[in-house]
Amino acid sequence: MSKIGRNEETNEEKLLLCPICNAKTRTKAYAKTVLSYFPLFCPKCKKETVVNVKQLNITVINGYPKEIGPPKAGFAKRNY
Ligand SMILES: [Zn+2]
C-alpha cells in the first residue's frame, strides 16, 4: 500500500510506481521532482513507460514526442 499525500508539504522521497503493474520501480522522486517525458523502466514487468511526474503523481504519455522519437532498438525490445 502506498500513501501518496498530494497535499503534504514534504521533501519525502518515494519510489515511483509502475503505471502498468503498480510495482515499485527503482526510480525515486521527491515531492518537488518534476519529470517530463521520462522513460520509467519497471524491473518487474520489464516495460518502459513514458511518463510525466509532478508532485509524485504519475501521468502516462501515449506515444513519444516527435523530437525524441521511439526508444532505441535494443533497450526496450527485450524478450523474456
Ligand atoms: Zn511494471
Distance 60 CA to ligand 1 centre (A): 13
> Under 8 Å CB-to-CB from 62, ≥6 apart: which residues?
none
- Read off the pLDDT of residues 11-45 as tens digits, 9 standing for 90 and up: 789 999 999 999 999 999 999 999 999 999 999 99
Q: How many helices (H) and strands (E) does the chain have?
A: 0, 5
Distance 22 CA to ligand 1 centre (A): 6
Distance 66 CA to ligand 1 centre (A): 25
Q: Residue 17: name the closest of 46, 54, 56 by CA.
A: 56
Specify the pTM: 0.65
| Per-residue confidence band for 6, with pLDDT thresholds at 50, 70 and 90 | low
Distance 79 CA to ligand 1 centre (A): 15
Asked if 52 and 64 count as a contact pair (C-beta separation under 8 A), the reply is no
